[in-house]
A and B are shown apart, each in its own frame.
Chain A
Amino acid sequence: MSAITARRTSSAAASRGGGVLPWLALPALVAFAVFALIPLIGVLLLSFTSWDTLGEIQLTGLESWRQVLTDPGLPHALWVTFLIMLLSWGFQTPASILIGVFLAGHQRYRELLAVLYFIPLLLSSAAIAITFKALLDPNFGLGAGLGIDFLTQDWLGEPGLAFGVVIFVVSWQFIPFHSLLYQGGVRQIPRSLYEAAELDGAGRVRMFFSITLPQLKYTIITSSTLMLVGSLTFFDLIFVLTEGGPGDATRALALDMYKRGFQANLMGAACVIGVILVLVGLALALLLRRIGGRDPYASQLEGV
């Protein structure tokens, strides 16, 4: 075959391919549009309506917004969400970094420990919440069984304690995941940095603060983004563990949306909360991107 015909076939294939490519993206686009994009627009539209799940959807303008914005439950839910975000981030980050560094070692016993340690990653929030509910039961749980008074408190019945339990259980579930991220991050730090520091006589603590931490910068940003955006929508765990209680001590935004919508049948008001969730999530993602200097998702994927 001559060079000319070869070139002609190739350009023909290219133009044909150019026409085909957009079609390949169509199934994903349609699926995403129908069940993510339309609902995203829908949540905004429905926030201007009233709907009790049985009757007709009625356009009521800003009624639902007024109702939610004047309800003292909203600042409370925002505050609870913010506290959960902040406290669980503040506790999980240092713990995950330390454990990640520890598990990055290639010693046999550490690898064995890691196998067991990552098990919580596999469990559903429902399973974890149910386990801790049983474990912390003041009458039949661990405290009663061991006869230790400290553990026999009414963990889920007292607002402050219940809040602490939520933070603890969230950490229990997610620290392994973030340790896994940090383990990967630490293993990517070039050994030569440590060897040079060793020659300069730096101790282990010094090396941790001057090499390990700065080198983990992008892992910290990714992990923090996932933690903060994730804690915005914590639902399963709190729903099964406390149902927002006692009272409304652990009623975070996502739970507030569910309760307004599916228990109080105020779908319009629930959609207002949904819009707020979307906005806060977007603002958070933009803020973290600015702090990090680049897209946290893209950052980890460079050179993949």
Chain B
Amino acid sequence: MSWLWLAVVLIPIYWIVITSLKTQSNYYLTNPFAPPADPTLDNYRLVIEMDFPLYFLNSLIVAIGTVIPSVLFSFMAAYAIVRSSGANRFLRGINSLFLMGLAIPLQATVIPVYLLIIKMQLYDSLTALILPSIAFAIPLSVLVLSNFIRDVPKELFESMRLDGASEWKTLWGLAFPLTRPAVVTVSIYNALQVWNGFLLPLILTQSPDKRTLPLALAAFQGGPYGVNVPAVLASVVLTILPILILYTVGRRQLLSGLTAGFSK
């Protein structure tokens, strides 16, 4: 059973890669599982000419623009929640608010988000994608980060305080460096969510030059080049490639980032 499913998972991946290296005419003629006799990179050239570098850049901007503020904000909130240890009513309320945010499917609120973005005159911009993505990322990030900050020995905070360090300084000088693995984990999780996100780009942008990669993929397949299967698959491979490179470099980090907060 395990072996069977492993095969089911691996065969399509193998198929995408070899097919993306075939010419369109070869694709129809050869055995789909046979590697191409004369591999070609023409499909990749075509995809790159179809503005994919721009879409790549868009995705990168949205991912970075979301991850940095959401993780920093979440870290500050998590720090405050842990350090007040339930003594502050305002912070307790914020904590339960974020916990509630975890249970609610936030995608269900995209229509008011759409209205809000229009009213703010941000429609069809990358900022329109970044702002809601930050908000959606906060609940889980706060939860995971506060669990890690809680692990920092209390004595360390105490000695910082005795040295007269402000909370601000303790936050960035002590808590942040000590929980760096958790920060990386949460950042990876959020980055991947945004990188692969589809619904927000679909409803909040419309110009081709504002497309992020997943949307560009769908448009490419639905467009005039859609019949060129090897080219479509080359576009799929190109969007996966950067993450795949990260995967080979930091596999353990990436996998623990994916299950951020769900297992340990």
Interface residues of A (CB under 8 A from B): 6, 9-10, 13-14, 16-18, 20-25, 27-29, 31-32, 34-43, 46, 51, 95, 98-99, 102-103, 113, 115-127, 129-135, 137, 140, 142, 145-146, 172, 175-177, 180-181, 184-185, 219, 222, 226, 229, 232-233, 235-236, 239-240, 254, 257-258, 261-262, 267, 270-271, 274-275, 277-278, 281-282, 285-286, 297, 300-301, 303-304
Contact = CB atoms under 8 A, between A and B. Distances in A.
Contact of B88 (A18, A126, A286): A18
A28 B77 contact: yes
Contact of A304 (B104, B115, B151): B151
Contacts of A31: 69-70, 73, 131, 134-135, 138
Contact of B239 (A21, A117, A127, A181): A127
B25 interface: no
A133 B235 CA distance: 14
Contacts of A142: 15, 32
Contact of A124 (B195, B255, B261): B195
25 contacts: A16-B166, A17-B161, A18-B88, A24-B76, A25-B91, A34-B135, A42-B111, A98-B1, A121-B258, A124-B198, A127-B214, A127-B217, A130-B221, A140-B27, A145-B30, A181-B259, A181-B262, A184-B263, A184-B264, A219-B263, A222-B262, A235-B107, A236-B198, A274-B110, A278-B109
B105 A130 contact: no
B42 interface: no
B147 A28 contact: no
A257 B114 CA distance: 13
A181 to B, nearest CB: 5
B143 interface: yes
Interface of A is mostly: helix
Contacts of B263: 180-181, 184-185, 219, 222, 300
B108 A278 contact: yes
Contacts of B87: 18
A43 B112 CA distance: 6
Contacts of B198: 124-126, 235-236, 239-240
Given A17-B167, A142-B15, A282 B76 contact: no
Interface of B is mostly: helix
Interface of B: 1-2, 5-6, 8-10, 12-13, 15-16, 27-28, 30-33, 69-70, 72-74, 76-77, 79-81, 83-84, 87-88, 90-91, 94, 97-99, 101-113, 115-116, 131-132, 134-136, 138-139, 142-144, 147-148, 151, 161-162, 164-168, 171, 192, 195-199, 202-203, 213-215, 217-218, 221, 229, 232-233, 236, 239-240, 243-244, 247, 251, 254-255, 258-259, 261-264
B257 to A, nearest CB: 10
B101 A36 contact: yes
Contacts of A270: 111
Contact of B15 (A39, A122, A135): A135
Nearest to B109: A39
Contacts of B196: 123-126
Contacts, number: 303
A25 B77 contact: yes
A251 to B, nearest CB: 16
B113 A39 contact: yes
A267 B132 CA distance: 19
A3 to B, nearest CB: 11
Nearest to A113: B6
Contacts of A239: 198, 202
Given A31-B135, A270-B111, A180 B264 contact: no
Q: Which 6 A-B pairs have the closest CB atoms?
A: A42-B112, A35-B135, A124-B196, A145-B32, A39-B112, A277-B108
Query: Which residue of B32, B79, B102, B254 has the most chain A CB atoms within 10 A of its CB atom?
Result: B32
A87 to B, nearest CB: 16
Contacts of B104: 40, 278, 281-282
Given A39-B116, A240-B218, A95 B5 contact: yes
Contacts of A20: 166-168
Nearest to B192: A122
Given A35-B113, A301-B147, A130 B139 contact: no
B113 A27 contact: no
Given A24-B76, A39-B110, A124-B195, 15 more contacts: A9-B164, A34-B131, A46-B115, A120-B13, A122-B192, A127-B214, A130-B217, A135-B12, A146-B32, A233-B105, A239-B198, A257-B110, A285-B103, A297-B99, A300-B264
A46 B112 contact: yes
A140 B232 CA distance: 13
